Structure 1
Amino acid sequence: MGQMKLEVNGTTYEVKIHGDKILINEKTIDLTKIKENEIVIDSKKFYLDFYERTGIGMEGKQQSLLLINGMAYTIVKIDTDQETIKELRAPMSGNIIDIYVQLGSYVQRGEPLLVLEAMKMHNEIKSPRDGKIIDILFNKQQPVKAGEIILIFD
C-alpha cells in the first residue's frame, strides 16, 4: 500500500494506493478504468493533461500542473516520512524506455530512476526517498499500467 498527501489548489487530500484501487479521502477510484488521458469517476468523464514540475510554489515546494477538462490545478506533494515508502508505482500507464538503477543500487531522494513514455512524452521518474533498490519488477521497453509496482525499496 502506498500513501501520500497532496495539496491541490490549497486543499489537502489523503491518497492511498491498494493495487488497482486509489482511495482519495477514503473515496475509491478504480485504476483499471483510467485511460491514457481520461478518467471516469461516478459515471462522469474527465479529460486530463499533466505537467510535472512546473515551478516552485509557496514555501519552496515543487509544484506540478494538472489540467482537468481544461481547468488548471496546481499540485504539491506534502512531505511525509519518506522511510515509509517501500514501493515505486507507475504514476501513469506507458512504456518504460530506460532504467537508470540496478538491483542493489543505493539512491537518494530526487535521483532519476527511470524514464516512462506516456502520451508520447518522456517522463523522468525520480526517487521518492533515500534507500536501496531491492527489487525491479519491469524491464526496458516493457509496458506498465498506472498503479503497478515498478520497483521496491528496502
Structure 2
Amino acid sequence: MGWKTGGLLWLALVSLLFAGQALASSPPFASVQSGLYKDTTFAEAVTAFTPYEKIYLLVELQQLQPGKYTLTTDWLTPWGELEHQSNYSFELTKTKPLWKAYSWLNLWKNGPVKRLLTGEDFKKKFYGTWTVRLFLNGKQIHNQSFDVQ
C-alpha cells in the first residue's frame, strides 16, 4: 500500500473517530428552554424579583432520550457565589417529547438581631443580577440571568 493510500486510510479512521466523539458528546435532547416565574402557575415569565418573592425556574427539554439523569440547578449571587444548589435525579425508559421540571429559590432573611442593628431584611449581596445555571449529568446545558431589586 502506497503512502497516498495509507494516508487516506489513516485520515478516514481519524475522521470516523472524531465523528464518533461528536455523537457521544452531543446532548441527549433536541433543545432546552427555561423561564423564571413568581408562582407555580408559570403563566407569565419575568426577569425581575424582590427578595421577598419565591423565584421559580421552569425547565423544558424537548425530545429527551431514554437514560438516567441528574438535573442540577445552581443559583449564583451577583458576585458569583453559589447561594443554593438543587439536584433532581430521574430515569426515562422512552423518549419524552417535552420533559418539564422546576426549581425554586427563597432568599433567607437576616436574623432578628442583624435586622435590628442594620435595619435591613436581607443581605446586601442579594441585590443585583443573579445567574441560574443548569447542568444535566454534570454538563452545563443552559444559563439565565435575572435581577433582584
TM-score (norm 2): 0.25
TM-score (norm 1): 0.24
Higher RCO (C-alpha 8 Å, min separation 6): 2
More strand per residue: 1 or 2?
Answer: 1
